[in-house]
């Protein structure tokens, strides 16, 4: 009997089992993951495509976006704030400033009950229903519409489905106009600012984006925690689906491709593979940055309620507001601040100085802002107090156990005050323009004082001293998430080509993912 040497087939059998195992599991799981997330992916893509179209390419316009402050006409100030308070028997209040309604100037007084009263600066008489009238005046000015009737005017004290947190200002008035475009205007009377405006087209877009991109429909049947959890789950599945697709169609395609397929299925599979590999990076970055961004939404922000407003007694105002030691020809407005139990008039002056430099974004800097603080008892100017007041406000917000800082970062400990070594101030500066990298347009409030502290999280505070509000708090972890979302979700790296090209690129990327999802869905259905 002839001896024969058996052929070594172990490697072949091993390869066969490995290929078979992959075919049975990886390809099946890729199809399963894809079909689980195909509907969420399509909804996210289509609603995401709408955003640059509605926010940029077809953004509705409004006549005036800002009310420019003009110097106060002192001739109209026949009564001081002290006389106004005395005549109207107001012994305590929170603050005041001067506003103009048509051609008449009024003292706008904020009471201890957070309501606003208006008093004619010439007659000291109150303006009935003054806050509503001023809200209407502002809305009509922003719209340049003095004719259309108002269907509804109501106070908004919390963010809603149509008035989102991105608008920042609260409380505001919502004014709905009887016009073909169904315009709704939101104004903040305490600052004379336009919060936002929504015609019918924008109202529809907000609903679609909120429903299908932010998945607000889950809030209707559950709560915010469930909504965020479900979104992160689906985004994670999409990421795994994209990774498995890259592995199958990019590296192991020869192991999976079938020699005998119908022409139609072959074309679908071919384009699903080719386009899928091309857009897989966008899929991963969209899913990752979206999920990362969603994790920041677990706890609603309390910035809108972060305001320092101690009660002020009329008896504390010993220096008449009509005799202030200031340049009345440049005085735009005045208000009060309480700093270390001392009361000051905060005066905003029209500046004659212009910064000659250009910003790193290529835009001219805003005119320098001149702010002076005048002791309410001695009528003496105290220089450099705006930065000191901003630091004082940081102390007030960080040491408040129920405030916004205590729940978000390491500076919430009452022992870590502005005088603590852990709270050492690194830099302080006045911002009169938005900084795209950290304090962008989304933060709304300007001017603000930026205070960067030495701390484990390199916490930076942005304080609007005009309203004594905390405008923003930024830590290293929030910077990282912000850069991730701006870079991977909003394509900030395309800013060099201009906003039009950047938005078009993001639309193209989202549309490509949509095409891949549709091709994958068709392939799945043809298997049935």
Collapse the DSSP code of 297 into the 3-class scheme (helix H, G, I; strand E, B; otherwise coil) and give the result: helix
390 belongs to a structural domain: no
**β-sheet bridge partners, residue 334:** 347
486, 439 contact by CB (below 8 A): no
Domain count, the chain: 2
Distance of CA 454 to the CA centre of its chain: 25
Distance of CA 216 to the CA centre of its chain: 18
Same domain, 87 and 185: yes
- Identify the helix (H) or strand (E) that includes residue 449: strand 448-453
Q: Which residues of 41-75 are buried (b: 16+ CB within 10 A; e: fewer)?
A: bbbbbebbbbbbebeeeeeeebeeeebeeeebeee
Query: What is the rounded distance in angstroms from the CA atom of residue 77 to the CA atom of residue 493?
Result: 52
Query: What is the rounded distance in angstroms from the CA atom of residue 330 to the CA atom of residue 352?
Result: 9
pLDDT score, position 136: 98
Query: What is the rounded distance in angstroms from the CA atom of residue 449 to the CA atom of residue 462?
Result: 6
Ranges in the chain, pLDDT < 50? 1-14, 259-260, 356-366, 401-421
pLDDT score, position 249: 62
Query: What is the rounded distance in angstroms from the CA atom of residue 211 to the CA atom of residue 414?
Result: 40
Same domain, 36 and 101: no
324 belongs to a structural domain: no
pLDDT score, position 418: 42
210, 233 contact by CB (below 8 A): no
485 belongs to a structural domain: yes
Query: What is the rounded distance in angstroms from the CA atom of residue 89 to the CA atom of residue 188?
Result: 26
pLDDT score, position 462: 96
Same domain, 189 and 224: no
User: What length is written for the chain?
Assistant: 528
Same domain, 152 and 91: yes
Distance in angstroms between the alpha carbons of the first and the last residue of the chain: 55
Digit-coded pLDDT (tens) for 331-387: 999 999 999 889 999 999 987 765 544 443 344 444 567 899 999 999 999 998 999
Query: What is the rounded distance in angstroms from the CA atom of residue 351 to the CA atom of residue 330?
Result: 7
Digit-coded pLDDT (tens) for 43-80: 999 888 888 777 766 778 899 999 988 899 999 999 99
pTM, to two decimals: 0.84
Dmax over CA atoms of the chain, in Å, equals: 128
CB count in 10 Å sphere of residue 452: 16
Query: What is the rounded distance in angstroms from the CA atom of residue 269 to the CA atom of residue 524?
Result: 10
Same domain, 38 and 89: no
Same domain, 239 and 173: no
Q: Phi, psi (5° rounding) for residue 310?
A: -70, 155
Same domain, 215 and 286: yes
Same domain, 89 and 184: yes
444 belongs to a structural domain: no
Query: What is the rounded distance in angstroms from the CA atom of residue 254 to the CA atom of residue 236?
Result: 27
Same domain, 217 and 183: no
512 belongs to a structural domain: yes
180 belongs to a structural domain: yes
Query: What is the rounded distance in angstroms from the CA atom of residue 3 to the CA atom of residue 511?
Result: 66
Same domain, 52 and 117: no
Same domain, 53 and 94: no
DSSP state of 341: T
Domain residue limits at 95: 74-158+167-196
19 belongs to a structural domain: no
Same domain, 102 and 148: yes
pLDDT score, position 368: 62
Angle between helices 10-52 and 200-212 (to 10 degrees): 160
50 belongs to a structural domain: yes
210, 231 contact by CB (below 8 A): no
pLDDT score, position 516: 78
Cα–Cα distances in angstroms (integers) from residue 413 to residues 397, 407, 421, 468, in the given order: 11, 10, 13, 21
């Amino acid at each position: 009997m002839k001896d024969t040497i058996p052929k070594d087939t172990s490697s072949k059998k091993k390869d066969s089992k490995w290929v078979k195992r992959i075919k049975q599991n990886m390809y099946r799981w890729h199809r399963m993951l894809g079909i689980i997330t195909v509907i969420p992916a399509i909804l996210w893509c289509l609603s995401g495509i709408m955003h640059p179209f509605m926010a940029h390419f077809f953004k509705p316009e409004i006549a005036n976006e800002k009310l420019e402050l003009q110097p106060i006409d002192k001739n109209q100030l026949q009564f001081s704030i002290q006389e106004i308070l005395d005549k109207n028997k107001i012994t305590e209040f929170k603050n005041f400033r001067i506003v103009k309604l048509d051609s008449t100037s009024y003292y706008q007084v904020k009471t201890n009950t957070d309501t606003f009263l208006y008093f004619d600066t010439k007659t000291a008489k109150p303006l009935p229903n003054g806050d509503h009238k001023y809200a209407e005046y502002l809305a009509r000015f922003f719209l340049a519409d003095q004719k259309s009737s108002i269907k509804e005017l109501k106070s908004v004290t919390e963010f809603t489905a149509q008035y989102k947190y991105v608008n920042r200002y609260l409380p505001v008035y919502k004014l709905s106009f009887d016009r073909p475009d169904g315009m709704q205007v939101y104004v903040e009377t305490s600052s004379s600012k336009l919060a936002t405006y929504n015609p019918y087209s924008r109202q529809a877009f907000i609903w679609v984006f909120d429903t299908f991109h932010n998945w607000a429909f889950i809030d209707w049947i559950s709560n915010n925690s469930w909504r965020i959890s479900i979104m992160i789950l689906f985004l994670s599945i999409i990421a795994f689906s994209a990774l498995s697709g890259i592995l199958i169609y990019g590296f192991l395609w020869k192991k999976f491709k079938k020699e005998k397929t119908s022409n139609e299925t072959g074309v679908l599979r071919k384009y699903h593979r080719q386009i899928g590999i091309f857009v897989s990076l966008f899929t991963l970055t969209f899913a990752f940055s979206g999920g990362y961004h969603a994790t920041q939404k677990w706890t609603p922000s309390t910035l809108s309620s972060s305001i320092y407003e101690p009660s002020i007694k009329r008896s504390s105002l010993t220096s008449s507001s009509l005799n202030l030691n200031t340049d009345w020809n440049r005085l735009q407005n005045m208000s009060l601040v309480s700093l270390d139990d001392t009361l000051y008039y905060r005066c905003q002056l029209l500046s004659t100085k212009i910064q000659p430099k250009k910003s790193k974004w290529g835009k001219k800097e805003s005119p320098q802002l001149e702010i002076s603080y005048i002791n309410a008892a001695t009528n003496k100017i105290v220089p450099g107090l705006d930065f000191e007041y901003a630091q004082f406000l940081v102390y007030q917000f960080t040491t408040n156990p129920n405030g916004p800082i205590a729940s978000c970062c390491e500076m919430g400990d009452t022992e870590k005050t502005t005088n603590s070594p852990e709270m050492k101030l690194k830099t302080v500066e006045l911002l009169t323009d938005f900084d795209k990298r950290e304090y962008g347009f989304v933060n709304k409030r300007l001017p603000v004082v930026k205070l960067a502290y030495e701390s484990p999280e390199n916490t930076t505070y942005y304080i609007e001293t005009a309203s004594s509000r905390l405008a923003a708090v930024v830590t290293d972890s929030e910077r990282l998430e912000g850069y991730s979302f701006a870079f991977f979700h909003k394509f900030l790296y395309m800013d060099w080509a201009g906003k039009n090209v950047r938005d078009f690129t993001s639309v193209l990327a989202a549309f490509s993912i949509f095409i891949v999802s549709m091709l994958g869905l068709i392939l799945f259905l043809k298997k049935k």
